[in-house]
């Protein structure tokens, strides 16, 4: 067994250059949770890819469960070498990265990135090789060797941790995809079904375990099984936490409000102090039902149960939603004001970024720099002042309402805040303020767009084909403004963005100076997936498929949707990562306007 572990450890070491020198050193060699890791880059090592006189070097994570760290980390120069240090949190497992300086990149090999694995007593912690297998897509792209490499890593994980549920299923799914034998495929699938069934019945009433079970079916490509397993939970274990949650969600989908209210009220008779947390969803449904019916006493009764006694990163946002619901229904303005004020008083506890939750670790908060965190708090404060202003207006307190609105309408304000302010000024008949607000909106957007400008050469657009598989001619793009949007069929935010891209396309489809390229990024997708996408029948903008597995690295994105506006000289001028909601339309329009005004 010791020999096996030694061989496994060797696969995690940093690769040296042809002279045996290492341009990147990671220390300690066997980092453990709670320790500080230091990455040191020596630009003097020949052939490292980054010039010795580089003014800055950035460490770029390409796969990571180091959620407390930024994806891009500026390195510090010390005695001619560049370093970055960070603490490993108590849940960390594995990460990959490369270094960049402008357009220069340092990687150990073309299809390899540097790796940081977490150990305990020089033994890789559970999931290191599983996560390394996941990272190979970013490292190797669509290499024909990818599946085989992942297969070996799944086996390495199981050599160290034979009971790793996810690794077992990943290995079986990998082998199912690799075989052409129907009999072998059926046998492998049977094994997978047994593993999932064993997992389910080991703890069928545990929400975390149920998530593992549904993930298992997704791993082996049986998405349709999710509804059936949920049905089992709903029918056999209706009084468990997941059973109550699923039954409540199913009941809420109906159209008979009276029947829904009766069912929820009946179920709530089972609530005790010990199981109260499993009834929160039912209280929320009833709060909204009664608020819509203008039944203040019952709505407020159920609102009391929506924030648990235990600390939650979402408590302040729940208070805001209660206050907003009451305000919109013009119900109990004094209580609505109290809830909104509670949220404002707790504005520095608003969630920033994607907060993950795992039963084993609890809430995991992502990295956010001070400016990002402060921006979230200020936007929330603006939004809450606008809400308080509307509520104060309902309370017939015009002076208080005006004070709140004055604090709400600021440059940092988001669309929801400005919409509330517009509603307030319409209600008060203040045409002058409405005009000022409209001008303010335009100025905010214009200033934001000008600050977001960049100027760097765009990668060659040679990897795109249309839905007939015909390659896009680079010549056809010369001298054009190109709006390229990367997406994938499985990406929900991408699908949410599509209607806005259609509206933008409709406004500019006859402009010969603009080329729209709504491009399937190829991540987990094939040309057939792009061709079979249902949106092809719904939208009229031109759809393309990207054939380059390294396109994300070349454009520098690891989140989709990601859109880029390229000017007529072939330079990237605007970058938009992620879906920002309805604001995306005005933002892209403003960015296009900037480029259209240039000669």
Q: What's the DSSP call for residue 476?
A: G
pLDDT of residue 256: 94
Instruction: Give the whole-angstrom CA distance, residue 564 versus residue 452.
Output: 12
Per the listing, tokens 């609105």 go with 405
Confidence label for 446 from pLDDT (cuts 50, 70 and 90): confident
Res 599: pLDDT: 63
- According to the model, what pLDDT value does residue 263 have? 97
pTM score, whole prediction = 0.78
Q: Is 562 in a helix, a strand, or coil? A: strand
Return the exposure string of 473-500: e unless at least 16 CB atoms fall within 10 Å of the residue's CB, then b: eeeebeebbbbbbbbbbebeebbebbeb
C-beta separation of 576 from 589 below 8 A? no
pLDDT mean across residues, the chain: 91
Per the DSSP assignment, residues forming a β-bridge with 377 are: none
pLDDT at 255 over 50: yes
Strands (E) located in 156-250: none
Q: List Cβ neighbours of 186 (8 Å cut-off, separation of 6 or more).
A: none
Question: How wide is the angle at C-alpha 524 spanned by C-alphas 585 and 539, nearest 5°?
Answer: 35
pLDDT of 308 strictly over 80: no
Q: Burial-class residue 457 by CB neighbours within 10 Å (0-12, 13-18, 19+).
A: exposed
Q: In this structure, what token pair is assigned to residue 321? A: 């939603």
Q: Residue 12: is its pLDDT beyond 50? A: no
**Cβ atoms 61, 116 nearer than 8 A:** no
Best CA proximity match to 59, nearest among 32, 79, 30, 86: 86
Q: Is the pLDDT of residue 273 over 60?
A: yes
Pairing between β-strand 514-520 and β-strand 481-487 as defined by DSSP bridges: parallel
DSSP-H helix ranges across 452-582: 492-508, 527-531, 535-538, 551-555
The 10s digit of each residue's pLDDT in 346-404 is 999 999 988 888 888 889 998 888 998 999 999 999 999 999 999 999 999 999 999 99
Query: How many Cβ atoms from other residues are within 10 Å of residue 363's Cβ?
Result: 13
β 36-41/81-87 pair status: antiparallel
Domain 2-161 architecture? Sandwich (2.60)
Total residue length of the chain? 599
Q: What is the DSSP letter of 349?
A: G
Question: What SS3 state is found at 545?
Answer: strand
> Which pLDDT value is given to residue 195?
98
The ranges assigned to domains in the chain are 2-161, 168-236, 307-451, 456-596
Q: Is the pLDDT of residue 267 over 90?
A: yes
Q: Which residue has the tokens 């520098």?
A: 556
Burial of 324 per CB tally in 10 Å (0-12, 13-18, 19+)? buried
- Bridge-partner residues for 83, per DSSP? 40, 76
CATH class entry, domain 456-596: alpha beta
Please tell me the distance from the alpha carbon of residue 596 to that of residue 599, in angstroms, as a whole number: 8
Q: Which of 287, 283, 290, 289 is nearest to 267 (CA)?
A: 283
Residue 32 CB: number of other CB atoms within 10 A? 15
How many Å is the Cα radius of gyration of the chain? 27
Instruction: Determine the pLDDT at residue 301.
Output: 97
- The model's pLDDT over 110-160, given as tens digits with 9 standing for 90+, comes to 889 999 999 999 999 999 999 999 999 889 987 899 999 999 999 999 999
pLDDT at 486 exceeding the cut of 90: yes
Could you tell me where the beta strands, DSSP code E, fall in 167-238?
Answer: none
DSSP letter at 293 equals T
Give the percent of the chain with pLDDT over 90.
73
Average pLDDT over residues 470-482: 90
End-to-end C-alpha distance for the chain, whole angstroms: 69
| Dist. CA 327–CA 320, nearest whole Å | 10
| Burial (CB count <10 Å: 0-12, 13-18, 19+), residue 107 | buried
Among 262-276, 306-320, 511-525, 530-544, name the most confident range: 262-276
Q: What pLDDT, on the 0 to 100 scale, is given for residue 8?
A: 43
Indicate whether 434 pLDDT > 80: yes
Q: How many CA atoms lie within 13 A of 163 on its CB side?
A: 2
The arithmetic mean of pLDDT across residues 436-447, rounded, is: 86
Residue range 470-480: average pLDDT? 89
* Residue given tokens 């070349």 in the structure block: 554
Q: Going by C-beta distance under 8 Å and a sequence separation of 6 or more, which residues neighbour residue 386?
A: 404, 405, 408, 409, 413, 416, 417, 420, 421, 424
Torsion of CA 485, 489, 493, 499, to 10 degrees: 70
pLDDT the model gives residue 523:
63
Cβ-proximal residues to 594 (8 Å cutoff; 6+ apart), any chain:
449, 450, 453, 573, 574
What pLDDT was estimated at residue 242? 94
The CATH number of domain 307-451, selected from 1.10.10, 1.10.1060, 1.10.600, 1.25.40: 1.25.40
Distance separating alpha carbons of residues 113 and 98, to the nearest angstrom? 6
- What pLDDT was estimated at residue 448? 83
pLDDT of residue 522: 65
Q: Which of 121, 98, 90 is nearest to 23 (CA)?
A: 98
CA–CA dist 396, 392 (Å, integer): 6
396 burial class (0-12, 13-18, 19+ CB within 10 angstroms)? Answer: exposed
């Amino acid at each position: 067994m010791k020999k096996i572990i030694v061989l496994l450890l060797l696969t995690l070491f940093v690769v040296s250059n042809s002279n045996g020198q290492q341009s990147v050193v990671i220390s300690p060699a066997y980092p453990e949770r709670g320790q500080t890791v230091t990455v040191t880059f020596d630009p003097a090592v020949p052939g490292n890819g980054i010039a010795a006189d580089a003014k800055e070097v950035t460490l770029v994570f390409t796969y990571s469960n180091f959620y407390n760290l930024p994806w891009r980390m500026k390195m510090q120069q010390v005695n001619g070498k560049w370093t970055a240090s960070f603490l490993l949190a108590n849940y960390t497992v594995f990460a990959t990265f490369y270094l960049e300086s402008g357009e220069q990149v340092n990687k150990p090999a073309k299809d390899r990135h540097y790796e940081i694995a977490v150990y305990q007593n020089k033994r890789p912690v559970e999931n290191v090789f599983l996560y390394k297998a996941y990272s190979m897509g970013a490292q190797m792209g669509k290499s024909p060797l990818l599946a085989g490499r992942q297969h070996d890593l799944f086996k390495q994980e199981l050599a160290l941790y034979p009971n790793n549920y996810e690794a077992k299923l990943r290995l079986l799914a990998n082998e199912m995809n690799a075989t052409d034998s129907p009999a072998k495929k059926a046998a492998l699938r049977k094994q997978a079904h047994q593993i999932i069934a064993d997992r389910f019945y080991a703890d069928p009433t545990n929400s975390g375990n149920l998530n593992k079970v549904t993930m298992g079916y997704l791993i082996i490509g049986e998405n349709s099984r999710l509804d059936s397993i949920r049905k089992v939970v709903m029918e056999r274990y209706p009084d468990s936490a997941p059973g109550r949650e699923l039954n409540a969600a199913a009941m809420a989908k109906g159209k008979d409000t009276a029947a829904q209210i009766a069912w929820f009220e009946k179920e709530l008779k089972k609530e005790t102090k010990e199981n109260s947390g499993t009834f929160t969803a039912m209280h929320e449904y009833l709060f909204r039902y009664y608020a819509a019916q203008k039944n203040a006493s019952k709505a407020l009764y159920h609102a009391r149960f929506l924030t648990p006694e235990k600390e939650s990163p979402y408590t302040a946002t729940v208070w805001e939603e209660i206050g907003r619901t009451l305000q919109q229904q013009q119900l109990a303005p004094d209580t609505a004001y109290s809830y909104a004020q509670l949220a404002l008083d707790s504005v520095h506890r608003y969630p920033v970024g994607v907060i993950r939750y795992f039963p084993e670790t609890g809430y995991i908060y992502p990295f956010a720099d001070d400016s990002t965190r402060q921006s979230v708090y200020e936007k929330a404060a603006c939004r809450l002042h606008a809400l308080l202003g509307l509520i104060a207006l309902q309370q017939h307190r015009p002076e208080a309402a005006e004070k709140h609105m004055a604090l709400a309408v600021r440059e940092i304000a988001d669309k929801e805040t400005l919409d509330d302010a517009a509603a307030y000024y319409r209600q008060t008949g203040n045409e002058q303020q409405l005009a000022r607000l409209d001008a303010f909106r335009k100025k905010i957007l214009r200033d934001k767009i000008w600050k977001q400008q960049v100027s760097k050469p765009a990668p060659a657009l040679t990897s795109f084909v249309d839905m007939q598989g015909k390659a896009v001619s680079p010549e056809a793009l010369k001298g054009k403004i190109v709006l390229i949007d990367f997406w994938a069929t499985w990406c929900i935010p991408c699908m949410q963005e599509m209607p806005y891209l259609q509206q933008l396309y409709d406004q500019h489809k006859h402009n010969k100076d603009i080329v729209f390229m709504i491009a399937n990024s190829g991540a987990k997708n094939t040309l057939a997936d792009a061709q079979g996408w249902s949106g092809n029948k719904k939208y009229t903008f031109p759809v393309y498929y990207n054939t380059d597995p390294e396109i994300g690295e070349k454009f520098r994105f690891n989140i989709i949707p990601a859109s880029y506006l390229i000017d007529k000289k072939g330079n990237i001028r605007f970058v938009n990562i992620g879906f920002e909601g309805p604001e995306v339309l005005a933002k892209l329009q403003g960015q296009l306007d900037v480029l259209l005004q240039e000669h």
